[in-house]
Structure formats: structure tokens, C-alpha cells
């Protein structure tokens, strides 16, 4: 941005000097015209740079969401973990296949993609009106939440962050066996008075 600024300041200064040589009336008109041109350029250029930045951020997020869905499909198909699967506002995110947990105890002690799919499928089979999405649909929606969602809560004691978007909530753990790693712990569709997640 330095070189366009220097260029236009130079042009503005030269035009200002030239306008001083002319008669007073023309000088006033020219100075006002060039001032408008000068201010208009920077206002327009500033807005256009902002739009490019916002557009780039949006395009980056679209790419990250595609990467997230592709990685998710691979995790599900191969029942494996993928480190650094995609990026979000928290940094790199890993997808852990995990375990479903103890089905007879409400899937307690489960984590990761396997846990989310199993628990959400169970809820869907018990009450499809309250839980219209299957487990696969929920985890795919959680990829969108992680990439585009907003942080609504951080829990330092548990080293996790909650993100929300469009009525869904994802919980990102920031610790894996003592290492600082972002990974999807769990997630759900928010239901009023839903009780246990």
C-alpha cells in the first residue's frame, strides 16, 4: 500500500502546485476537485481492499469446509484419525475417530466422530421429531459449525471451546494426551431443555 500512497501523494502535490500557478478562482476549484479525487481514491480503494479481504476470508473458509468434509468422509470410511485435517479460527483441527462409549450408559466415555454418530443416531431412532438429523448429518453440520461458527464459551479447566452456528454446537478439545491439539470432542443440535448432551 506504500507505493500507491506515495504515487498519489506525489500526483496530488504536483497538481496542487500547478493549480497555484493558475488564477485564484481556478486554484480553488482545482484544489477542491483534486481533494475530492484524492479522498475518493482512498475511500474507494479502502473499501475495495476490505471487500477483497472479506472475499478471501470467505473463499478460504469454503476451502476449509471442503477439506473438513473430505477428511470427515475418510475418517468414517477408514475408522482412522486425521491430524491437521483443516483450519478454523482456533487453528488446525484434527478429526479423531474415537469410540462410541457405553451404549447402555448413554454413550458415556465416548468421544470423537464415532461417539457423535452413534449417540445422534440413537437419539434420532428414539425421537425423530426432536432429533430429525442422523448422526452422519450432525457430524457434517458440525464441520460447518467449526469453520463458520462463533465461539460461545471457553472452559479452561477442561481445555475446551464451544462453537455455535444455526442451532448446532461443537465442542473442540484443546488437549490430546498432554499435547496442545484442537480436535472435535463432541457436538449436537441444540434442543430447548435438552438435558444431557
What's the pLDDT at 19?
Answer: 59
What's the pLDDT at 16?
Answer: 60
Q: Is 79 left (phi over 0), alpha (psi -120 to 50) or beta?
A: left
What's the pLDDT at 51?
Answer: 56
What's the pLDDT at 68?
Answer: 95
Long-range contacts of 118-123 (CB under 8 A, 24+ apart): 120/188, 120/189
What's the pLDDT at 191?
Answer: 80
Q: Could you report the per-residue pLDDT of 19-39, keeping only the tens digit for each?
A: 555 545 444 444 444 444 444
Which regions of the chain are under pLDDT 70? 1-58, 192-197
- Return the DSSP state at 179: B
Are the C-beta atoms of 113 and 127 separated by less than 8 Å? no
Is pTM beyond 0.85 here? no
Amino acid at each position: 500500500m506504500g507505493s500507491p500512497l506515495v504515487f498519489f501523494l506525489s500526483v496530488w502535490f504536483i497538481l496542487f502546485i500547478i493549480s497555484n500557478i493558475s488564477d485564484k478562482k481556478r486554484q480553488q476549484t482545482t484544489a477542491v476537485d483534486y481533494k475530492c479525487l484524492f479522498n475518493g481514491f482512498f475511500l474507494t480503494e479502502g473499501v475495495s481492499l476490505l471487500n477483497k479481504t472479506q472475499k478471501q476470508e470467505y473463499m478460504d473458509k469454503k476451502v476449509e469446509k471442503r477439506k473438513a468434509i473430505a477428511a470427515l468422509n475418510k475418517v468414517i470410511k477408514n475408522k482412522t484419525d486425521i491430524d491437521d485435517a483443516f483450519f478454523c479460527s482456533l487453528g488446525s483441527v484434527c478429526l479423531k475417530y474415537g469410540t462410541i462409549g457405553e451404549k447402555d450408559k448413554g454413550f458415556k466415555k465416548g468421544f470423537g466422530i464415532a461417539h457423535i454418530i452413534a449417540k445422534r443416531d440413537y437419539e434420532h431412532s428414539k425421537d425423530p421429531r426432536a432429533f430429525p438429523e442422523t448422526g452422519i448429518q450432525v457430524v457434517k453440520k458440525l464441520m460447518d459449525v467449526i469453520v463458520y461458527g462463533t465461539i460461545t464459551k471457553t472452559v479452561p479447566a477442561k481445555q475446551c471451546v464451544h462453537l455455535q452456528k444455526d442451532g448446532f454446537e461443537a465442542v473442540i478439545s484443546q488437549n490430546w494426551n498432554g499435547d496442545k491439539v484442537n480436535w472435535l470432542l463432541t457436538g449436537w443440535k441444540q434442543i430447548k431443555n435438552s438435558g444431557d448432551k
